[in-house]
Structure 1
């Protein structure tokens, strides 16, 4: 994804964002923000119509007031006075009723737009490759979805109606003022140019502060995620880093206080002067009406009605200017959200996927001249690897840590796409399959197990939502964990705790194995899947795997060579390359690297 001018400047420090670039970014952002409301055009049209009607109706009040003061009261015309008063009450009732309905519709539309933004961001991020999540802090992702989208709520919910309401009120008020007295209107409207200039300056100040505040909020979220997760708490306690962690959080929170204050106070003095200026206008009107050149030309009712209109102009005009400030400052939030929505999906469903029935797959796995480099690395993690695993056979990958074994497993499951070469199953390139179909074919149990903070039953059902209790129990028995679960007070309804920390490493891995087996994949990838098991449990699980491996292709990655002795094919990986391959016996007899590892 191409960097924005702001990002290039922040990273390199050599690029200066020009006024033209700022204007272009703002135009694109506003146009894109506007498209969020496109599906709700009909509702918004109704709201605008109601706002216009409400504004027009409300403009009758000053004219009714003028008639009360200039006609009804001086002539003691009680009938006219009653009708005028009833008219004023009716105007208030009508505008209030329209306001309630308008608020309901506009809030509903705003919440629907917020819902769409949240779900679109979550869905798009879920489609990102593992590489994105390895280089992005979890707290940063959470902050974008919660803080940034949450910060937009008032703008998304109220902006359209606020603009329409305030704009129509301002226009209607100005028209009414001109109808009453064009001379006094000129005096009143002289404040508009400085008001607009000041508002633009305040908007720019708040936009910069908003961007900085959201970055600080993201840092705060990261600190919470890293410091208060079960793993983070264990790490800080065992490393004696609690004080430093608290100091880091405190410092971030302190900076946030300063940014919040600056955000709230940005331009307040300037806007305060505007309030004083608007408040002084009625005094200027009274002065103008009493000057020798105008004295006697305006009735008392006209002056009172005009002053009421002018006072009423202040609120919508300031509201309109404030909406402009809010929109401009919120562009920083929209920019952060759109940045995530614009991320390219590196591993995605093909445009025209090959139709596949997972249950009909034989499981013939082949890697042909596969090369892969991690983003930002000049060294290939996997370099020209070719492997052929016939259906139902077992392939074992062995080698030193960092040799590329787990990367090969990740390529089989298509967590990454190879830089060169192909990975095929039954002759079909995995990049030509739908990701859901591939996930149904290839089951992965990794060394780092992840359990959800829910019951054991729901953790297992995560792999197969429609699984029956009998199927869940059968998978648990196969993974040699059923007896342990049954002995718990709540059995399968036992809550595993955050990240499964209630259980030992071996117990968590057996639950993870059961979860994968529940899906009955045609290809099993076991990436150090038994590394946390003791010798006796490992043997029991291996026996279970031996029974389940019939008709199933299995790729096993292990450091313990005892777990791979019986594999149909053993491949030694070194620095991303295939060093040697064969059976346990032939490799030991060859006296090469495998023999050295087995010694």
Structure 2
């Protein structure tokens, strides 16, 4: 994202903090006042025929009724023709300017969501399904764009027509204005009576759609597991339950919208017919001096007025859906669980000296600490491995060092400085992570390895692939490092993906390296190739390793044994085996040695 786009994203976040979503939408549109002004002026011009043509019609009827001149009829025709023809260029100007604002607003919202999602803590992303996040970025922003497209034209049109109709009636037959006033309280009453129920049902529908999105995302990611265990029907049932929730909530919303449409139409049509009858009675009885042309004019204007109000009432469902999407997006943009880096000290270079000073961490709603009173001094270039049973705190240790989670107590020092004082984004430029499941995106091998880096030379890329034991298999691919790897690297084996992840780390030349079960999911041949690549990667770098297979960490400078979040042993492989403690027991278990 460019700096301009990022600055715009921050402004969007501030705008959406308005508790009234309708006002937030108006403020979003007001960010481009020039285009909005041109659009509204063009719209006002193009809508002139709607409210002025009844005047032309009334005048021509009166000319015919009184036996007037043909030339006068032609003059009124010429006026009507000019007004009608100008509609085309004015409509194009309006569409160009207004739709530019709408599309820019949609892009701004998506940029703001992307920026906010990158700022939110890992804890937030752990709690919230990625499918729900995707729904907010794609569907909710699309709903807002649709709302602006579908509401603005009829809203402006109805407003312009009503203003024109009332103004022309005030000029021609001002005594008839009180009759027009009957339509307004009826319309307001209908809107007020249905507003709250519409909002509630739209919110329920949106929540059901998010639940369904999460279940579909879950089903897609678990298809191999589902197939392997013959659980296809169970997976389908879970999605079907979510789909039924969407169906029921959607049907209730549709029925409410049907009530709005029908009540609005019937009420306004009755008023329209009543106005025609009343104008005719006034003319026939002489109660008001109304000509036949003015009867048509008043009836037409009242029809336009009630039609405009009907249109506005019909917009309630569309507006409610769009405003609910504004609330949905605001949930992300106003989420307070941020990783706060702004204003903190930027790091230009990292030496790699890590010190954990009485560090403890407890996850929200947990009944005990994940880490308790951990103190470690890791000098630059040392390799430290963390072992222990599941739940002992190994992965939490890596997340603490990365800054993904904050210590509940104690502090972490990087090169002698408390990491709470540092901009972690600048720190992570000198950190690389090789996880158990390497993450690749839909793109070429080159794009995946050089992700986030500018101008990576072919020589540097080749060296990274070679040191990662990946050059040989990459060269065998039809298009070499320009081969597209598929979504999440689906066209490559697990070992190949892992070696590309190592190449991605090598090309960055990090000072700190974090390895999280980097070989646990590989076959023996792939594991050997990856271990060789890791040994090259670890050389001269501060390295923290989490591993279940103890055979992969024999060469570590120190091995830290964790149990229930506490350090129970520290030492080299040989020293810990001789100590006959917890590590020796784990080693014997994996080696198949009888206890």
After TM superposition, the score normalised by the length of structure 1 is: 0.87
Q: CA deviation at 1:30?
A: 2.8
The number of aligned residues is 569
CA contact (8 A) 2:143 2:321 kept: no
Q: 1:252 aligns with which of 242, 260, 263?
A: 242
**Aligned residue in 2 for 1:122:** 114
Summarize the Cα distance change of 1:330–1:372 in structure 2 as closer, same or farther, 3 Å threshold.
same
CA contact (8 A) 1:203 1:326 kept: no
**Aligned residue in 1 for 2:435:** 446
**Aligned residue in 2 for 1:504:** 493
1:555 & 1:292 partners in 2: Cα distance? 98
Q: CA deviation at 1:533?
A: 3.5
Summarize the Cα distance change of 1:175–1:420 in structure 2 as closer, same or farther, 3 Å threshold.
same
1:192 & 1:324 partners in 2: Cα distance? 16
| SS in structure 1 at match of 2:32 | helix
The answer as to 2:199 corresponding to 1:207 is yes
Query: 5 Å matches for 1:148-159?
Result: 148-157=140-149, 159=151
Q: CA deviation at 1:342?
A: 0.3
CA contact (8 A) 1:206 1:325 kept: yes
The answer as to 2:307 corresponding to 1:315 is yes
2:181 & 2:318 partners in 1: Cα distance? 23
**Aligned residue in 1 for 2:36:** 44
Summarize the Cα distance change of 1:414–1:163 in structure 2 as closer, same or farther, 3 Å threshold.
same
**Aligned residue in 1 for 2:253:** 263
What CA deviation, in whole Å up to 9, does each residue of 1:104-130 have, x standing for no partner?
A: 211211111111112111221122222
2:63 & 2:70 partners in 1: Cα distance? 11
Summarize the Cα distance change of 1:99–1:204 in structure 2 as closer, same or farther, 3 Å threshold.
farther
2:351 & 2:52 partners in 1: Cα distance? 80
1:571 & 1:26 partners in 2: Cα distance? 50
| SS in structure 1 at match of 2:86 | helix
**Aligned residue in 1 for 2:185:** 193
**Aligned residue in 2 for 1:3:** none
Q: CA deviation at 1:585?
A: 3.1
Query: 5 Å matches for 1:327-366?
Result: 327-354=319-346, 356-358=347-349, 361-366=350-355
What CA deviation, in whole Å up to 9, does each residue of 1:498-553 have, x standing for no partner?
A: 33343333332222222222211011111111223444554444444444434311
The answer as to 2:417 corresponding to 1:428 is yes
The answer as to 2:131 corresponding to 1:139 is yes
| SS in structure 2 at match of 1:152 | helix
2:523 & 2:89 partners in 1: Cα distance? 73
The answer as to 2:463 corresponding to 1:470 is no
Moved more, 151-160 or 77-86: 151-160
**Aligned residue in 1 for 2:4:** none
| SS in structure 1 at match of 2:273 | helix
CA contact (8 A) 1:191 1:277 kept: no
CA contact (8 A) 1:206 1:263 kept: yes
Query: 5 Å matches for 1:510-589?
Result: 510-535=499-524, 537-589=526-578
**Aligned residue in 2 for 1:235:** 225
Q: CA deviation at 1:480?
A: 1.8
Q: CA deviation at 1:483?
A: 1.7
CA contact (8 A) 2:135 2:213 kept: yes
Summarize the Cα distance change of 1:446–1:292 in structure 2 as closer, same or farther, 3 Å threshold.
same
Q: CA deviation at 1:423?
A: 1.8
Q: CA deviation at 1:561?
A: 2.4
RMSD of equivalent CA atoms: 2.6
**Aligned residue in 2 for 1:273:** 266
Q: CA deviation at 1:145?
A: 1.5
The answer as to 2:162 corresponding to 1:170 is yes
The answer as to 2:396 corresponding to 1:407 is yes
CA contact (8 A) 1:394 1:556 kept: yes
